[in-house]
Chains A and B, each alone.
Chain A
Amino acid sequence: MAMVTFTENIQRHVPCPATEAAGATVREVLDNVFAANPQARAYVLDDQSALRRHMTIFVDGAVIRDRTRLSDPVTAGSRIYIFQALSGG
């Protein structure tokens, strides 16, 4: 199981507690996370299920490379962080 942690900024809009989820890719893990928390899905992914433009995901300290299909591999014990840019005013 991978451990998934969300940015604090998202919590104001929709509760996203840190959670464990299974999966061999980022997509599989997130599908499991959002199955349990469907409202959060559209805060992280766009209408085509790609990562929103100003969101980013780290897997074990590295930014994922496939922002469209989320095919980056995940291993049991991986730590996944979902963050957003802090631009704007």
Chain B
Amino acid sequence: MGDKLLVSTRKGLFWVQRTNSKWDIDRVDFLGDNVTLTLTDPRDGRHYAALDHGHFGVKVHRSTATGWEEIATPAYPPKPEGLEENDMWGRPLPWSTVRIWALAAGVADEPGVLWCGTIPGGLFRSTDHGSSWQMIRSLWDHPKRKKWMGGGADLPGIHSILVDPRNSKRVWIAVSTGGIWLTEDAGASWVQRGEGMRADHVPPELTHDPIAQDVHCLVQCPAYANRMWVQHHNGIFVSSDEGRTFTEIKQAGPSTFGFPVAVHPREPDTAWFIPEIKDEKRIPRDGRLVVTRTRDGARTFDVLTRGLPQHHAYDIVYRHGFAIDPTGERLAFGSTTGGLWVSEDQGDSWTGISHNLPPVYAVRFAA
């Protein structure tokens, strides 16, 4: 049961603890600093925090018995002399970690293995709890990687990493924009996945091209790994063949646009979304903050409002700002306007923990 939340914000890392049935902030680390993402490794309980110090760059910290220690930041290899590589805007593509956008732990048979996705598109793997990182060159050097483009950020980035719970050599990643990619040999080679997704903001000849897809968030049901859910720039897509093909879901409450998605850990047909008016506005419809939930594989959706602001609420929830605990009972999300809500009944009702946090970038259950 998730009793602790790690909330990454523009101005620090907030620990939110459930004590005597009440949730409250009980600790703040890195106060004043931009914390963009955390990972809690379920295999050993270690916490990892990604910080963006702006002028001083991106850093990674790992928890210790007494606090935090700075560890290695994934770093890009030297750019070959004379190589010209530009982004979609014609500017030189930096071979440098601009943002850490995904952190994932390996499975039980590979302790110490971590995966890290970055902007501008580098994927890294560590075998020593983040003390060092190796870039996955087979992906960075893949000729199609150069077709990735910026989406919400100017530069392309890897925001979702799924390690197959049945086989740690199989890893899916999702790219904004660049679609879904799969390795079945621990990163030695890669294939594109994600047939059936649709992008209507690109020229028609690219609409159905898997590499043109702006996946906002990709999740997988841990107990039924064939089931994946995608919150996409164009809406919601679901796969029953581990991401090989997707079906578009065209109706889901007020909107199918949004950034995050959560799936129940054991019930593959149960998933949650936080809808917004797409995409030029990106605000909740009618100023009502709602969560949508399906329990039947997206045939029907509940619109969940109890405990959420329904009058002039303009909270946006980023792709890493929504979390579900290992039991599938508790959910939590944080917003750009500093709101944080928790549900203990699968979203039927929500309790506001704070409305005054700094902008929230990520919410994760830590225990």
Contacts and interface: CB of A to CB of B under 8 A. Distances in A.
Interface of A: 9-10, 13-14, 39, 42-44, 46-48, 52-55, 84-85, 88
Nearest to A56: B55
A55 B94 CA distance: 16
A47 B99 CA distance: 13
A85 B53 CA distance: 12
Contacts of B96: 46-48
A13 B55 CA distance: 12
B55 A55 contact: yes
Contact of A48 (B55, B56, B57, B76): B76
Contacts of A10: 56
Contacts of B73: 42
Interface in B271-301: none
Contacts of B147: none
Closest 4 A/B residue pairs (Cβ): A47-B96, A84-B55, A54-B55, A47-B76
Contact of A84 (B56, B75, B79): B56
Contacts of B95: 47-48
A10 B55 CA distance: 10
Interface string B53-68: 1111101000000000
B56 A46 contact: no
Instruction: Say what secondary structure dominates the interface of chain B.
Output: loop
B343 interface: no
Given A39-B70, A54-B55, A55-B55, 17 more contacts: A10-B56, A13-B56, A42-B57, A42-B59, A42-B73, A42-B75, A46-B57, A47-B94, A47-B97, A48-B78, A48-B79, A48-B95, A52-B56, A54-B54, A55-B56, A84-B56, A88-B54
B57 A52 contact: yes
The A interface, classified by DSSP as helix, strand, loop or mixed, is loop
Nearest to B54: A88
A84 to B, nearest CB: 4
A52 B54 CA distance: 10
A55 B95 CA distance: 18
A43 B56 contact: yes
B94 A46 contact: yes
Interface string B74-104: 0110110000000000000011110000000
Of B56, B57, B78, B94, chain A has the most CB atoms within 10 Å of the CB of B56
Contacts of A46: 57, 94, 96
A85 to B, nearest CB: 6
Nearest to B78: A48
A86 B54 CA distance: 10
A88 B97 CA distance: 19
A52 B55 contact: yes
| Best-surrounded residue of A43, A44, A48 (most CB of chain B within 10 A) | A48
Contacts of B75: 42, 47
Contacts of B59: 13, 42
Interface string B196-233: 00000000000000000000000000000000000000
A42 B60 CA distance: 12
Interface in B26-71: 53-57, 59, 70
A87 to B, nearest CB: 8
A85 B57 contact: no
B146 to A, nearest CB: 18
A13 B53 contact: yes
Nearest to A10: B56
A55 B57 CA distance: 10
A80 to B, nearest CB: 18
A16 to B, nearest CB: 11
7 contacts: A42-B57, A43-B53, A48-B78, A48-B95, A52-B57, A54-B54, A88-B54
A85 B55 CA distance: 7
Contacts of A53: 55
A13 B53 CA distance: 9
Contacts of B55: 9, 52-55, 84-85, 88
Contacts of A52: 55-57
Nearest to B51: A13
